[in-house]
Amino acid sequence: MIGRVIPHPVLSAALVLMWLCLTAFSLGHLLLGTLISLVAGWAVNYLHPPRPRFRRWSAIPQLAGIVLIDIIRSNIAVARILTLGPDHPSYHSGFIELHLRLRDPNAIAVLAIILNGTPGTAWLEYEHQDGRLLLHVLDLRSDADWQSLIRDRYETLLMEIFE
């Protein structure tokens, strides 16, 4: 019953929060926001997307912290590189191919957000069948470095959360 009325509770909750952020934190808006989020949830349900299952909520803040720090660091790093100019010898960019263990589409999407949101790495191509990923990195140091970096910093946490 609940599942039918609120097919995507997490999503709907997020939408209510979004509504309140956008308008004001008041009772009236809570009601209106709830109504709208329910309608949106039903609409989404028509698409029957892969429903995310959050297995470990506690890992989310940890991941968020890591990502935030990485983004700030990368921002500085990339800003430095950009001030250096295009032909500076101190960095070189290139493609790297990685292998992902993640299988959950939502988790992979989150990883894509993280990698693309972090300056300096660009997610180019992903082959779901065998989990291969092609990245482009602005300042390339070593392949192994990146593979382990991503696996350790993000993938593990993501697998904890989603799988």
* Radius of gyration from C-alpha coordinates of the chain: 20
Nearest to 74 by CA among 139, 154, 144, 136: 139
> Binds 51, which of Na ion, other proteins, none (CB < 5 to 8 A, cut-off by type)?
none
Q: Which is nearer to other proteins, 33 or 157 (CB)?
A: 33
CB of 135 to other proteins, least distance (A): 9
CB of 119 to Na ion, least distance (A): 5
CB of 42 to other proteins, least distance (A): 10
CB of 24 to other proteins, least distance (A): 9
| Piece of 21-29, 41-49, 96-104, 118-126 that binds Na ion (CB under 5 A) | 118-126
Torsion, CA 83, CA 87, CA 92, CA 94, rounded to 10: 110
Q: Which is nearer to other proteins, 114 or 157 (CB)?
A: 114
What 3-state class would DSSP assign to 60? helix
Spell out the residues 6+ positions from residue 119 whose beta carbon is closer than 8 angstroms to its own.
Answer: 71, 74, 75, 77, 78, 138
DSSP letter string over 76-97? HHHHHHHHH-TT-TT---EEEE
Spell out the residues 6+ positions from residue 151 whose beta carbon is closer than 8 angstroms to its own.
Answer: 101
Q: Which is nearer to other proteins, 43 or 148 (CB)?
A: 43
For residues 102 and 109, the answer to whether their CB atoms sit within 8 Å is no
Q: Does position 75 bind Na ion by CB under 5 A?
A: no
- Interacting residue with Na ion among 23, 93, 116, 148 (CB under 5 A): 116
CB of 26 to other proteins, least distance (A): 8
Residue ranges in 121-150 that form contacts with Na ion under rule CB under 5 A: 121
Which residues would be at the binding site for Na ion (CB under 5 A)?
A: 116, 121
